[in-house]
Amino acid sequence: MAEMLTLSRHILQRARHHREASGDFNLLMSHIATATKVVSRMVAKAGLLNVLGKTGDTNVQGEKVTKLDIIANDMLQAMLDDLPMVSATASEEDVSFVPTSAGATSGRYLIAFDPLDGSSNIDANVSIGTIFSVRRRANVDCNPTEADFLGAGNELVAAGYAVYGSSTMFVYTTGQGVDGFTLDPGVGEFVLSHPNMRLPDTCKCLSVNHANRLRWMGGTRAYVDHVVSRAEPRYSATTGRYIGSLVADFHRNLIYGGIFLYPADSVTPGGKLRLLFEAQPLAMIIEQAGGAASDGVRRILDIQPDGLHARAPLIIGNTVDVRLYEQMVSVHD
Ligand code: AHM
Ligand code: MG
């Protein structure tokens, strides 16, 4: 029987070759993974637990909050709250960061997360997920501040996501490539199923909300027209694929090859997606898988957020296509 490499064992093995090689870091990653398993169970049973639908509230992003958003948010925060190595968490659902009970002053790590990305799709049973990133605090033995979270993405120690699809997967990087794990529901463990994930060379999927076309700027129109007109032979098999759930769109493109765009447009000139909670972690993962991420001009990982909820245009996927997009922007916008 083939060896079963669980996520916990994998984290331990990777940690031996990593400068974060401490039991602290391993425990922290295990807690995040456990929280995603609990969220996965909640998502799978959502229709039976009367937790579908909206709460009636609007979050800091101005979006309708779903009940599962809150349940997932509370779960992640609770799982991280008693870890002494975690100083604070920041969530897409909360206005401010939250210091932990156990490690606020002494903890070395800060965790940012989007507890339930794609949550507007929940009621239709579409794949959704959790996105997270881990960074180190510059100073310890003091209270955490918002500024501690506002580093560029190139300072991240780890990033990952769980996608709650036909199976639940956990994908993560600590800067040594990307590995994917599938939840074995019988055993309750994430098991290595996609070692060393690499983005295929071909841009198979073009993922953009075409209903926004009239809002797009010239560069985005020029790029999308270039692809759909099959201007180059490498686009002969490219197909449009857009779920409207970033983590699911990203995961599919990582498997098949492709580009995802949520560009600047006339309604959201600063972009819609969030740097800290969505763009930075996914940018770290795509670069580790051989791809690229840009806001149309700058590398996502070089952008310094100016607030917890800062947004950015996000163009992410095959490097050759991200570069072509940037070129179109430089000519047309
Ligand atoms: P959220 O569900 O965490 O609020 O994230 C926003 C979502 C992304 O998952 C997705 O890529 C995007 O919004 C879809 O936006 P639109 O419906 O405008 O295409
Ligand atoms: Mg999101």
Task: Determine the distance separating the centroid of ligand 2 and the alpha carbon of 16, expressed in angstroms.
Answer: 32
Report whether residue 253 contacts ligand 1, using a CB cutoff of 6 Å.
no
Single-letter residue type at 112: A
The verdict on the CB of residue 207 being under 6 Å from ligand 1 is no
Q: Is 150 exposed, middle or buried (0-12, 13-18, 19+ CB in 10 A)?
A: middle
Name the packing angle between helices 23-44 and 67-81 (round to 10°): 160
What is the structure's pLDDT at 72?
A: 92
Residue 178 pLDDT more than 60? yes
107-123 pLDDT per residue, tens: 999 999 999 999 888 88
User: How far is residue 70's CA from residue 58's CA, in Å, rounded to a whole number?
Assistant: 11
- In this prediction, residue 21 has a pLDDT band, given cuts at 50, 70 and 90, of low
* Cα–ligand 2 centroid distance for 229 (angstroms): 31
Residue 89 is inside which H or E element, if any?
Answer: strand 86-91
pLDDT surpasses 70 at 284: yes
The overall pTM is greater than 0.85:
yes
Burial (CB < 10 A; 0-12, 13-18, 19+), residue 126, is middle
* C-beta separation of 179 from 196 below 8 A: yes
Reported as a single tens digit per residue, the pLDDT across 315-331 is 999 999 999 999 999 99
Q: Decide whether any atom of ligand 1 lies within 6 Å of the 119 Cβ.
A: yes
Share of the chain above pLDDT 70, in %: 93
pLDDT digits (tens, 9 = 90+) for 117-156: 998 888 888 999 999 999 999 889 999 999 999 999 999 9
**Residue to mutate, 114, 161, 262, ligand 1, most ligand atoms under 8 Å from C-beta:** 262
* Mean pLDDT (the chain, rounded): 93
The band of 53, judged by pLDDT with boundaries at 50, 70 and 90, is low
- Looking at residues 192-217, what average pLDDT do you find? 97
Which ligand 1 atom is at minimum distance from the Cα of 249?
A: 11
> Is the C-beta atom of 117 inside 6 A of ligand 1?
yes
Dist. CA 201 → ligand 2 center (Å): 26
CA of 244 to the centre of ligand 2 (A): 10
Task: Please work out whether the CB of residue 63 comes within 6 Å of at least one atom of ligand 1.
Answer: yes
Q: Which domains does the chain have, with CATH numbers?
A: 7-194 (3.30.540.10), 205-332 (3.40.190.80)
CB of 184 within 6 A of ligand 1: the answer is no
pLDDT in tens, 61-88: 666 667 888 889 999 999 999 999 999 9
Task: Looking at the CA of 278, name the nearest ligand.
Answer: 2
**Alpha helices (H) in the chain, listed in sequence order:** 7-15, 23-44, 67-81, 146-149, 218-228, 246-256, 280-288, 319-332
Would the CB of 94 count as within 6 Å of ligand 1?
Answer: no
Using the mean position of ligand 2's atoms as its centre, give its distance from the Cα of residue 123 in Å: 16
